[in-house]
Amino acid sequence: MSWLLVIILLVPSLVAAEEARPLADNPQVEARLKNLAVELRCLVCQNQTLADSHAPLAEDLRREVREMISKDMSDKEIIDFLVQRYGDFVLYRPPWKASTTLLWLGPFLLLIAGATGLVFALRRRQKKLADVTLSDEEHNRVAQLLSEGTNRP
């Protein structure tokens, strides 16, 4: 009787032990989707990637991308598909073109401006320090002051 009870108790746990099912049937498709989706911006929650977002549109777009991957389209074709519809905004890495020149070059321009400013400031300070010349009288006074310091008990 007790054996029967043990068996009855074990059966549901065996059923529950089934492995969690992957979200999509094809793991290769999922891997490519994941790679692409982190490069793409969700248009609804604009600071999330397509991979992170739970917005319905992001789900739809993941479905589209998944289908395009299954059709063996290249990454470039898939990205072109989305850029044609939503513009460069879907890309987390905007392409280099006339309208994005300032975006790409701006940080370097600021760096150059800062470095130039620093060089000028340092040179000016050095000149100020070097320009101080002492007369003989001042020299003697300096020597006197310094010797006072060393002769102090």
Partner 1 sequence: MNRFLIPFGLFVVVVGFLAVGLTLNPRELPSPLVGKPAPDFSLPQLHEPAKVISSNDLKGKVWLLNFWASWCGGCKEEHPVLIHLAQSGAVPIYGMDYKDQRQEALTWLREWGNPYPVVAVDESGRIGINYGVYGVPETYVIDKAGVIRYKQIGPLREDILQGKILPLVRELQNQ
The least distance separating partner 1 from the CB of residue 84, rounded to whole angstroms, comes to 6
Asked if 80 and 70 touch (Cβ cutoff 8 Å), the reply is no
Packed helices 56-70 and 27-37: angle between N→C axes, nearest 10 degrees: 130
Asked if 32 and 76 touch (Cβ cutoff 8 Å), the reply is no
Determine if 139 is a binding residue for partner 1 (CB under 8 A): no
* Binding residues among 84-113 for partner 1 as defined by CB under 8 A: 84-87, 89
Distance in angstroms (rounded) separating the CA atoms of residues 94 and 103: 9
- Candidates 8-16, 31-39, 79-87, 131-139 — which segment interacts with partner 1 by CB under 8 A? 79-87
Distance in angstroms (rounded) separating the CA atoms of residues 110 and 118: 12
The least distance separating partner 1 from the CB of residue 55, rounded to whole angstroms, comes to 9
**Choice between 93 and 152, CB closer to partner 1:** 93
Distance in angstroms (rounded) separating the CA atoms of residues 81 and 83: 6
The least distance separating partner 1 from the CB of residue 62, rounded to whole angstroms, comes to 11
Kindly write out the interface string for residues 32-61 of this chain, putting x where it contacts partner 1 by CB under 8 A and - elsewhere: -----------xx-x---------xx--xx
